[in-house]
Amino acid sequence: MTHSSAATRLEVPRDPKTVYRAGSWSVIVVVLIVLHVLAFEATEFRPEALVTGAKGMSNFISEAFPPDLSAEVLQKGISAALTTLWIGLLGTTVSVPFALLLAVFAARTTTPNQGVYQVARGILSFFRAVPDIVFALIFVTAVGLGPFAGVLALICHNTGVMGKLWAEAMEDVDQGPEQALRTAGASRWQVVANATIPNVLPQLTGLLLYRFDVNVRSSLVLGLVGAGGIGLLINKAIKTFQFDEMLTYLIIILIVIIAVDLASAWIRKRLQ
């Protein structure tokens, strides 16, 4: 190979887009590494602490086994688990009308104007941004300890999450039936009721079942702050060092969650 041919090969210009992508990915990788270093430092992430704390963990586990399967503990656990299930159910279903109304206003294809769209999106963002456990703390101070505070907390948070998911589903629906009704002179609400919602109903139902699964788990956590349910019993058992009772309650709620998952999967399969 001659010197001139080698120089010609080396002088072949690189694609600017390829260079830009390579540079962008390099910057992204560096930024991610820096962010993880900062996160490790801020959270005091020390895997060696698991080794030094292994004895305490083993003592905790040994005291939890075997679980307390006495009739009194089982009765309390099952009753509280059902309360947790009811909190998750009501927190999901009662939020449906609020989430649906806000979803209609928060979808570009169904909202009357840009101002209403922005307001609806802002309300959904607020309800979604505030964690359900914060809502629970607020409502516990307002209505007192108990499952009612948990239901109210889930209604607020679930309205924000489900409203956003439903709005996005409405924006992705086929616009053909809606345009046909508009051409025929139907009003905006007639279009929503007769075209938008029927076309997107399977997606809305699937998202609703998904949120029910999540809310049942969330209601367990809400009980830890006094919002009722089996989480309250778990918190009490931990504070009184009754770890065998705690394990019993965890097993009960695990059975409930598995049952909810199976029921939701069965319903979703029937809707397909």
pLDDT tens digits for range 117-168: 899 999 999 998 998 889 998 998 888 888 898 899 999 999 999 999 888 8
Q: What is the pLDDT of residue 174?
A: 67
* pLDDT at res. 90: 92
pLDDT at 257: 87
193-247 residue pLDDT tens? 766 777 777 788 888 888 888 888 888 888 888 777 888 888 888 888 888 888 8
Confidence of residue 177 (pLDDT cuts 50, 70, 90): low
Q: Quickly state the pLDDT bin for 113 (edges 50, 70, 90).
A: confident
Query: Could you tell me which of 110, 271, 105 has the C-alpha nearest to residue 177?
Result: 110
Cα separations (Å) of 133 from 17, 29, 144, 151, 252?
47, 34, 15, 11, 22
d(CA 65, CA 79): 22
Closest CA to 226 of 235, 213, 218, 217: 235
| Structure tokens, 185 | 């002179």
Q: Would you say residue 272 has pLDDT above 70?
A: no
Instruction: Please check whether residue 135 is in contact with residue 70, taking contact to mean a CB–CB distance below 8 angstroms.
Output: no
* Model pLDDT, residue 52: 75
b/e string for 144-165 if b means 16 or more Cβ within 10 A? eebbbbbbbbbbbbbbbbbbbb
pTM over 0.95: no
- Chain segment 17-46, per-residue pLDDT in tens: 676 677 788 889 999 999 999 998 888 887
8 Å CB contact between 223 and 230: yes
Domain boundaries, the chain: 3-42, 74-271
Please give the class, per CATH, of domain 74-271.
Answer: mainly alpha
d(CA 247, CA 238): 10
Confidence of residue 185 (pLDDT cuts 50, 70, 90): low
Please state whether the peptide bond connecting residue 131 to the residue before it is cis, i.e. omega within 30 degrees of 0: no
- The CA distance from 64 to 3, in Å, is 78
* pLDDT computed for residue 19 by the predictor: 67
Res 260: pLDDT: 86
